[in-house]
Structure 1
Amino acid sequence: MVSSIFNPGRNGVSDWLIQRVSAVVLGLYTLFLLAWFLFNPSPDYYAWAGLFGSFWMKAFTLLALLSIAAHAWVGLWTVATDYIKPAAVRNGFVMFIILALFVFVVWGVQVIWGV
């Protein structure tokens, strides 16, 4: 078993739960957007801006963004620990993933909330 400083105090059950909960959130978000497009067959800028201008949609989008980051983190950490054997390469890959996900979330928050 690989012990890592990047996954302290967690076990497979918590990783499994994070994957499943984040997948459900992303599935609900996708279904909502598909339904919205189904009932708005030719949306214009104002309809799209009205949808994403509401607080509940911003919150739902933020939840989806955090779910993507959590889902990606667990998946990529698992792949890294299973398939990248040299510790230096694995740790470099994991650090790159942490940085990329951090930038992704910060940028997403700026886009969603206009910060």
Structure 2
Amino acid sequence: MVNRPIVGAHYGLKDWIAQRGTAVYMALYTLIFAVCTLALPEFSYSAWSGLFSNGLFKFLSFLFFLSVFYHAWIGVRDIWMDYVKPTGVRLALHLVTLFLLVGYAGWAAQILWRL
């Protein structure tokens, strides 16, 4: 019988592709954001607020944040799996990381839709 330790992750190509996909989206969003920011008539709060008043831009920004958090989850989860050997400690770190990232996603949504 194979005794495989509990690590809280799935091995394989799916996570590798997901991390590369989120990286591509983050790069594209960064370019679009830079162009939109440099195209602002002035760098003031009203211009900045006007940029984020568009619902599509808010949605794309929120997808950017979700991509950052999922990308971070995959990377940090792999660090915990590689370097933390006690199973209980590793799973506790996974939970803390997961709760923080979900909380950050909620915070990003609150900030984006509060404007």
TM-score over 0.5 for the alignment? yes
With CA pairs under 8 Å and 6+ residues apart, which has the higher RCO, 1 or 2?
2
CA distance in 2, matches of 1:2, 1:15: 19
> How many angstroms does 1:28 deviate by?
1.1
> How many angstroms does 1:2 deviate by?
5.0
Report if the CA contact (8 A) 1:80-1:90 is conserved: yes
- TM-score, length of structure 2 as denominator length: 0.87
Rg larger for: 2
The 5 A counterparts of 1:38-77 are: 38-40=38-40, 42-77=42-77
**Ranges of 4+ aligned residues in structure 1 off by more than 2 Å:** 1-4, 36-42
Identity among equivalent pairs (%): 33
- CA separation of 1:2/1:24 partners in 2, compared to 1, >3 Å: closer, same or farther? farther
Structure 1 unmatched ranges of 5 or more = none
Report how many residues are paired: 112
- TM-score, length of structure 1 as denominator length: 0.87
How big is the alpha-carbon RMSD for the aligned residues of Structure 1 and Structure 2?
Answer: 1.9
Structure 2 unmatched ranges of 5 or more = none
> How many angstroms does 1:12 deviate by?
1.7
